[in-house]
Amino acid sequence: MEPMDMLATGIVIGAVIALLIVAVLTPRFARRMRTEGALQSRAIVRGQIYEQLVPYLPGFRFNPKDAQFLGRPVDFVVFDGLDEGELRRIVFVEVKTGGAKLTTRERLVRNAIREGNVEWAEIRADASLQLSPPRTTTRT
């Protein structure tokens, strides 16, 4: 057998072996990925349900009537004392389950709040739905 024939035979055998390996491993990999995806999806849904129930669970230290669910970029804004007519403070609340960590966006919000980069903006629309320039009040 000539060297070129041996090379061609080796390439064909290698390709057949590679195809067999792919044919055997692909279904296992696909099954595993579907299973992991389903588990991750369930965990996300459970977390979202839990987030909305948190104000009604024992240990939530605010009046549930004062909590407004946002979902993103933070879970709640709590207007502490507003239901009683005495607003004491405004608290941003993020709910995490298990070992979940803050996302980059959640950390950015947390840091802006901690640094006092919070302000009030009031936007008014006239009858023609034209917006007036916002009036803002910043914290100093």
The two tokens of residue 130 are 């034209």
Residue 21 has, within 13 A of its CA and on its CB side, a CA count of 6
- 29-76 pLDDT, tens digit per residue, is 778 878 777 777 777 777 777 778 888 888 899 999 999 999 889 999
The band of 19, judged by pLDDT with boundaries at 50, 70 and 90, is: confident
- Cα(23)–Cα(17) distance, rounded to whole angstroms? 10
Beta bridge partners of 69: 76
pLDDT at residue number 109? 96
Give the torsion through C-alpha atoms of 97, 103, 106, 111, to 10 deg. 120
